[in-house]
Structure 1
Amino acid sequence: MKKQHVAVIGATGQVGTPLTRGLLSLGHDATIITRKPQKDAKLMAFEQQGALISVCVDMHDVDTMTEILQGVDTLVASVPGSKTIIEQSEPVWLEAAVKAGVKRFVPSEFGCHTQALEMGDGEVFDNKKRFHDLLMSSGIGWTLFYNGGIFDYFLPNLRFFRKITTFGDLELPIYTHDIEDIGYLAALAVTDERTLNKCVQVDYNALSQHDMLDQLKRNWPDHSFEYEHFSSEYITTMKESAGDEVTAKKGSETDKERWGINYAIYVIGKLAAFNEQTLRTSELYPDYVCKRPEEVLNDAKFVFED
């Protein structure tokens, strides 16, 4: 792969941190666009590794963003896909990227395979699909990166719930990976010419919730776990009836958005998808060795730490 200049919005976030670290380790030039006038520890570490820190207090200023993006090959929005980000921020960033001559835009995806979903399957995905229409009609190149699940939230543990919690169809395959692997694979994918105007699906690990629970019981046979299950019927009802409150212990999605995500993952099985426009990371990077769910479910700190 040839050296590229990649700008990252959200470089200190959950996906953005290992993604930016991956870009720098691969030898790419990285510009981190941030609102923070003061550099935190992560930004300072990235700067020491060669990243350029560009402060933009108003990221809705098209002219300022256009100036920052001069000479950039790819812009990555590794930020949570909230309604505000998708409807108000990303259109501005896209306009600035087009004006600056950026070759590729990577929007806020990093989760379910939005392109495989239909309108109405979930509020978050409806918003994303509307932005995709704008992106794909803009003339700029794009890559949609779908990592599926992250170990922290998808492997059964007691850190976010007081019981081991399951959802919907326990037999659906759940594609889930360690955040460090996700970030590095994203860095590979967004700088890979083969992924231009393609979807990329991370696909090394696939376990059903039933398989996960079996492993948990085998690893911790002496622990008496309590369980709670939300049925497909309950999830479907909540997708339509939940409100705009944010009540989850972890995450910033509204309740309506969160149950829509659960519907996509656990009821209709669209956490991952493999259609004609989707490339598998296992085929793009067959020699890559990622962390396996089996070793994580055997880690007491992961399973039990509150």
Structure 2
Amino acid sequence: MGKQHVAVIGAAGQVGVPLTRGLLSLGHDVTIITRKKQQDTTLADFEQLGAKISFCADMHDTELMADILQGVDTLVASVPASKSIIEQSEPIWLNAAMKAGVKRFVPTEFGCHTQAIEMGDGEVFDNKKRFHDLLMNSGIGWTLFYNGGIFDYFLPNLRYFRKITTFGDLDLPIYTHDIDDIGYLAALAVTDDRTLNMCVQVDYNALSQHEMLAQLKRNWPDYSFEYEHFSSEYISAMKESAGDEVTAKKGSETDKERWGINYAIYVIGKLAVFNEQTLRTSELYPDYVCKRPEEVLSDAQFVFEG
């Protein structure tokens, strides 16, 4: 894995920050593409670490984007998987990458294993799968990076819900990791020759919701938690009937998209999938040591504070 030139869209985002930090720490040349004329502190910090900041007033201008991408080996779209991003923005970025001779395109994924999900199992995944068809027929190289869950949203805590909230099948294995580990592993994976035209699944930590709850009780035996559970039947019904409102306390997905994601994770168990097209990070990077769920579930700030 030699030195590469990687362009990142969304470098100041949740995954983008540790991803970009990881790329820089690994010695890669990094170009951050942004619409903002005024740099925020995150981008300024990255510039101090050696990143190049490229301002693009119209990221839907194929020619402008292609000019910025000259000499880039890999383009990473580390942005929220909204319908407009997937249907409108990513096809333009893909065309620009092809014009510029970029060797690898990494689309917005960073969640469930879209390739293993069937059409109709969730609106977000349907949109992604249609773009994947475009990507894989384009002739450009690709990597699909699947981190599974992020500790903040998947380990039981009281920061996003008033009650400890569980979903669907409590015995399904939930693969979930710390955001800093996810970003660094993504930086390794998108610059690894072995992952070209492959899916990559982060797989160091796996706990069922039953196991998570048992750990929570062991760590906080004197705290009287309240619980709420959404059944598989309820999730399946909401996937079909929910609307386009955004009612979740955290997140930007519509209700329909959110229940489709819950269906994929907690009903059909597609948060993490291991098939012939998928490489495990535990096998790619066997010496990597990541933060464990046990550490986080014993942290009062994580469990109780917003």
Report the TM-score when normalising by structure 1. 1.00
Q: Partners in 2 of 1:270 and 1:260 — Cα distance?
A: 11
Q: Partners in 2 of 1:97 and 1:112 — Cα distance?
A: 25
| 2:153 match | 153
The amino acid that maps onto 1:33 is: I
Deviation per CA, 1:187-224, whole angstroms, max 9, x where unpaired? 00000000000000000000000000000000000000
| 1:188 match | 188
Q: How does 1:58-77 map to 2 (within 5 A)?
A: 58-77=58-77
| 2:10 match | 10
Q: Partners in 1 of 2:236 and 2:59 — Cα distance?
A: 36
Matched, 1:256 2:274: no
The amino acid that maps onto 1:284 is: L
Following TM superposition, the consecutive aligned residue runs of length 4 or more in structure 1 with deviations greater than 6 angstroms are none
Q: Partners in 2 of 1:139 and 1:213 — Cα distance?
A: 46
Q: Partners in 1 of 2:9 and 2:288 — Cα distance?
A: 26
Q: Partners in 1 of 2:58 and 2:224 — Cα distance?
A: 51
1:286 Cα offset (Å): 0.0
Q: Partners in 2 of 1:295 and 1:67 — Cα distance?
A: 46
Q: Partners in 2 of 1:303 and 1:140 — Cα distance?
A: 43
- The 3-state SS of whatever aligns with 1:30 is strand
Q: Partners in 2 of 1:175 and 1:271 — Cα distance?
A: 7
| 2:143 match | 143
Q: How does 1:276-295 map to 2 (within 5 A)?
A: 276-295=276-295
Q: How does 1:267-306 map to 2 (within 5 A)?
A: 267-306=267-306
The amino acid that maps onto 1:213 is: L
| 1:38 match | 38
1:159 Cα offset (Å): 0.3
1:42 Cα offset (Å): 0.3
1:56 Cα offset (Å): 0.6
- The 3-state SS of whatever aligns with 2:90 is helix
Q: How does 1:116-265 map to 2 (within 5 A)?
A: 116-265=116-265
Q: Partners in 2 of 1:58 and 1:149 — Cα distance?
A: 32
Q: Partners in 1 of 2:56 and 2:216 — Cα distance?
A: 46
1:57 Cα offset (Å): 1.5
| 1:54 match | 54
Listed as ranges, the gaps of 5+ residues in structure 1 are none
Listed as ranges, the gaps of 5+ residues in structure 2 are none
Q: Partners in 1 of 2:268 and 2:302 — Cα distance?
A: 28
The amino acid that maps onto 2:184 is: Y
Matched, 1:82 2:70: no
Report the TM-score when normalising by structure 2. 1.00
Instruction: Tell me the C-alpha RMSD between the 2 structures.
Output: 0.3
The amino acid that maps onto 2:79 is: V
The amino acid that maps onto 2:26 is: L
- The 3-state SS of whatever aligns with 1:129 is helix
Deviation per CA, 1:154-191, whole angstroms, max 9, x where unpaired? 00000000000000000000000000000000000000
Q: Partners in 2 of 1:117 and 1:264 — Cα distance?
A: 7
Q: Partners in 1 of 2:273 and 2:57 — Cα distance?
A: 37
Q: Partners in 2 of 1:214 and 1:48 — Cα distance?
A: 44
| 2:266 match | 266
| 2:94 match | 94
Q: Partners in 2 of 1:211 and 1:173 — Cα distance?
A: 9
- The 3-state SS of whatever aligns with 1:260 is helix
> Aligned residue pairs: how many?
306
